[in-house]
Amino acid sequence: MPKVLSSNIGYPRLGEQREWKKALEAFWNNKISEAEFLQTMKDLRLAHLSKQSKAGIDLIPVGDFSYYDQVLDTAVTFGLVPERFGYTGGEVSLQQYFDIARGTDNATAGEMTKWFNTNYHYIVPELGGITPQLTENRPLRLYLEAKTELGIETKPVVIGPYTFLKLSKGYEASEFKHWLDQLAPLYIEILQGLNKAGVRWVQMDEPSLALEVSTEEWQWVQDIYAQFNQATPDVNLLVQTYFEGVDDFGKLIDLPVQGIGLDFVHGLEQNLNNLDDWGFPENKILGVGLVDGRNIWRSKLEDKIELIQTISQTVPADRLLIQPSCSLQHVPVTTNSETSLDPIIKDALAFADQKLEELALLTKAANIGASAVQEALDRSREAVERIAHSSWRAPQEQHLQQDEGSATRNVPFAQRQVIHAEKWKLPLLPTTTIGSFPQTVEVRRARQLWRKGELSPADYNRFIEEQIQDWISIQEELKLDVLVHGEFERTDMVEFFGEQLDGFTFTRFGWVQSYGSRCVKPPVIYGNVHFVKPMTVTETKYAQSLTTKPVKGMLTGPVTILNWSFVRDDIPRSKVSYQIARAISDEILALEAAGIEMIQVDEPALREGLPLKRSKWQEYLDWAVGSFRLSTAAVQETTQIHTHMCYSEFHDIIDAIKDMDADVISIETSRSHGELISSFEVHGYDKGIGLGVYDIHSPRVPAKEEMVQLIERALRVLDPKLFWINPDCGLKTRAHPETVAALKLMVEAADDIRQKLGQEVSAGKL
């Protein structure tokens, strides 16, 4: 009798104890050989497949595991290596692969940007001037490895051609069809190899099909999948969408493929309506994304079973795949090692392994009835109810006000600018950094010893003060104009604040990949958020006592704390954001009372939280901008508010960024080679602004001339009196020598431009 099958879309690559990250960094630091690195990665890859098989998953993905990034994997599979890396064809070496990701002394790394609206970063493929070629059939190699080594029949995962091109750059919009035509035979070659090996299902990830797709583009997608189907009729293709509902549902289900995957978590309402309106083809399988792949709370399994029953009225149960809403790479691996969490909180959590259990349970319920798994369903329901009814989540009327987003500064920017110029007396093009300085082995070790109780609080505080003192001296020697204390007491820009606010808790091993080997351990917001006591005043005040130059207070903004946390799912995200905003406002006022009147409230994640559908943007921006203003509006007019944002299509939200009403904004832009500057040619910007003049994600120290060129390009469209000079982001991940060398060149670049501007003023040109 045909039955419902379970399917996974993707699994975290990190390992339970971050074995993946450790192997990667050991290889980069020449502590293990390439052979040792490859063997470690193979062992992890196979262990992850075995785990999914033991969990009872029927269709297990292969090809989702990567040495760095799945988009980069696709690019090198097609030989799309930028010319600056000296690639001459054939299989891309491991060294070349990492060169693209990290850069070299002579070649800048590939641009990095967010994977849709997640906190995962991918390397943007560069297509210009390159003829694609198939360098290896990577999905086939990994499929055969799983079959040979483990005897597991897997489902190869490939980023589909439409989404791959949408994520790429280096071509004109008019060339899109040309690139599809170039890639089509390469995809066919991959699929034909899989067909010969006996592969049953191939997952073609096409999340971009859930966004805005033109009628012409839909026809191109239809044509290319028709080519795939004709060339490999024995391979079942599952076109997988996620992160949103699909607007052009009729066109999606008309594609000549054997399966369609839909997100019934983040696209629930729209996709259900789509099924009601359009039905579903009788000759296709529906992948039902039921379990949330982006958050860490248990599913309400009875609701999911009811949803399966609803969907099965349109699509018979024997044509359903029970899946997560997206790849599980966005959640930690397992709760099994979390021995320190409150039992009520831990029992309410579901990381990747627990989500596999939920998938297997839902599949079993769909096949033989909920009564057969009633005991497990009861345990899950009780866990959800215990936290829902806890005092942690009791309604807080003061946090449910309707006017939370209406806060504004008392004095407009034009007046504040005059006040600040008189107060700070900074030079033209003031130089500063984004906040953090290198977190050395010594810094991490001291923190670890302190957390273990092996270093007394007094000794730890003295150590932190020594670090602050050293870097205040270094900054003064470098002649930076506005200093920072370095954030040596902080593990992570979100975790640090979450540890000191009510409503947050932390896991020990809840790591997720952000980019490359950079992992983050997002806080868990399980209840109402409250300010407890000042969090940053001691270190910032100490740093300011060491210098006559201004020292910025450094805070993380409410929207970034929200977007980089796992957030409770029982109230709207906007309400949680406003709770955090009130807590950050209390901290800002504490800094101001301590004499710190230049305060940076970072919002690097504001843009990434933007919904993928433009129709939903305004609602999000209203409460996101409102949260920032609620944080900062209560300060005196003499206090200068800075913020920092990461670059990503800045022009899309420039009006909202202006509405934030920060006195100075710094923006990550060096990896895009100044492309952002063109936005200002159209939109302009009339507040203080600093565009990152060098890339901190790469160990490469840029030449001074590169920074000068970026500054000069920006000053063609931005007012020099409002322009600041700074690196792209914080310098936490960089080594001491390269940090000092790069900042020295940055200050010299600023001096060169100042001299040139001074000459132009004398000549009457400015």
Pairing of strands 524-530, 502-505: antiparallel
Distance from C-alpha of 698 to C-alpha of 664, rounded to nearest angstrom:
25
* φ/ψ bin of 553: left (φ > 0), alpha (ψ from -120 to 50), beta (otherwise): beta
With beta carbons less than 8 A apart as the criterion, state whether 43 and 23 touch.
Answer: no
Residue 697 annotated among the catalytic residues of the structure: yes
- Tell me the residue length of the chain: 766
Does the annotation list 608 as a binding residue? yes
CA 279 → CA 312, 313, 634, distances in Å?
A: 11, 10, 53
Q: Is 99 annotated as a binding residue?
A: no
Largest CA distance in the chain: 88
* Residue that the structure tokens 């993707």 belong to: 10
How many angstroms separate the CA atoms of 92 and 386, rounded? 52
Burial environment of residue 763 by CB neighbours within 10 A (0 to 12, 13 to 18, 19 or more): exposed
Distance between CA atoms of residues 551 and 544, nearest Å: 6
Q: Is 326 annotated as a binding residue?
A: no
Please tell me whether 36 is known to bind a ligand. Answer: no
**Backbone φ and ψ of 121, nearest 5°:** -110, 140
Is 756 part of any known ligand binding site?
no
| Catalytic residue chosen out of the listed positions 330, 530, 697, 736 | 697
**663 in a known ligand binding site:** no
Q: How far apart are CA 216 and CA 162, in angstroms?
A: 12
Q: How many other C-beta atoms are found inside a 10 Å radius of the C-beta of residue 206?
A: 28
Residue 19 annotated as lining a ligand binding site: yes
3-class state of residue 555 by DSSP: strand
Residue 119 labeled ligand binder = yes
Q: Does the annotation list 114 as a binding residue?
A: yes
204 contacts 160 by C-beta, under 8 angstroms: yes
In contact, 437 and 732? CB cutoff 8 Å: yes
The reply, when asked if residue 642 is annotated as ligand binding, is no
Q: Give the integer Cα–Cα distance in Å for 172 and 163.
A: 16
Residue 434 assigned ligand-binding role: yes
| 646 among annotated binding-site residues | yes
DSSP 490-549: -S-TTHHHHTTSEEEE--SS--EEEETTEEE---EEEEEEE--S-SSHHHHHHHHHT-SS
Please check if 435 is assigned to a binding site: yes
Q: Is 206 annotated as a binding residue?
A: no
Is 602 annotated as belonging to a binding site?
Answer: yes
Q: Is 659 annotated as a binding residue?
A: yes
Q: Give binding residues for 5-methyltetrahydropteroyltri-L-glutamate as ranges.
A: 18-21, 114, 119, 518-519, 564, 608
Q: Give binding residues as ranges.
A: 18-21, 114, 119, 434-436, 487, 518-519, 564, 602, 608, 644, 646, 659, 668, 729
Q: Give binding residues for L-homocysteine as ranges.
A: 434-436, 487, 602
Q: Give binding residues for L-methionine as ranges.
A: 434-436, 487, 602
Catalytic residues: 697
Q: Give binding residues for Zn(2+) as ranges.
A: 644, 646, 659, 668, 729
